[in-house]
Amino acid sequence: MTASGILFVLCAPSGTGKSTLVRRLVAEFPNFAFSVSCTTRAPRPSERDGHDYHFLSHEEFIRRRETGFFAEWAEVHGNLYGTPKAATLELLAAGRDVLFDIDVQGARQLRSSLGQGAYVFLFPPSPEELSRRLLGRGTETPQSLARRMAAAKDEIAHSPEFDYWIVNDDLETAYQQLRAIYLAEKCRPQYQHAWQHIVQQAWGLS
């Protein structure tokens, strides 16, 4: 494909610090657009349809899935989630860098269906620190904490499939590593169509 934007996938067990890092990355680099997924889960009070997610009925999700609407899809915690393929390709073709908040199953499918991108896995420094962060958010019951810790183990088992690993121990170090990956990826020739054109003209290459 000839897209010039970067498909940037960041996966992490819940509570690791992904949202904290992503907020800083999009604030520093406004060329990022978020991929808005479709889901069958009910909206939370603060969520807006079309902004946080496209909220679909189960039937509508299945119908779209059968037409090849999704670049990837997965069932997470009993709900269906999917990335709309055409919208993603349009953003990339327009030169936007697209950031994905998807689970590890989705990351694997996205790589095989779109065949490009930078895939980053973010680790918590230890299981103890992950439970401290989850408890620190004040959103977990003992049952949901145990569920998230078990899910974290499953996700970490998939970490060898990723291109880059970052350990979110010291936040500043982790952020510097994340932005370094992004900046290095932008230097790949496939993302530099405008410069390629200039070089061809200037040096008489075709």
List residues near ligand ADP by CB under 6 A: 12, 14-20, 133, 136-137, 168, 171, 174
- Segment lying near ligand 5GP (by CB under 6 A), choices 97-105, 156-164, 167-175, 190-198: 97-105
Q: Which of 151, 161, 204 is nearest to 16 (CA)?
A: 151
Cα–Cα distance measured from residue 70 to residue 177, given in angstroms and rounded to the nearest whole number: 31
Cα–Cα distance measured from residue 186 to residue 183, given in angstroms and rounded to the nearest whole number: 5
Q: How far is the CB of 47 from ligand ADP (least distance, A)?
A: 15
Q: Is 117 in the site for ligand 5GP (CB under 6 A)?
A: no
Nearest CB to ligand ADP, comparing residues 126 and 200: 126
Q: In the set 5, 15, 106, 117, which binds ligand 5GP (CB under 6 A)?
A: 106
- Contacting residues for 109 by C-beta, under 8 A, at least 6 apart: 71, 72, 73, 74
Nearest CB to ligand ADP, comparing residues 11 and 36: 11
CA 110 to chain centre: 10
Binding-residue total with ligand 5GP (CB under 6 A) = 13
3-state helix, strand, coil in the chain (%, to 5): 50, 20, 30
- Segment lying near ligand 5GP (by CB under 6 A), choices 101-109, 128-136, 158-166, 185-193: 101-109
Q: In the set 5, 15, 17, 82, which binds ligand 5GP (CB under 6 A)?
A: 82
- Contacting residues for 151 by C-beta, under 8 A, at least 6 apart: 13, 14
Q: How far is the CB of 73 from ligand ADP (least distance, A)?
A: 21
Q: Is 81 in the site for ligand 5GP (CB under 6 A)?
A: yes
On the 0-12 / 13-18 / 19+ scale of CB atoms within 10 A, 198 is exposed
Q: How far is the CB of 128 from ligand ADP (least distance, A)?
A: 13
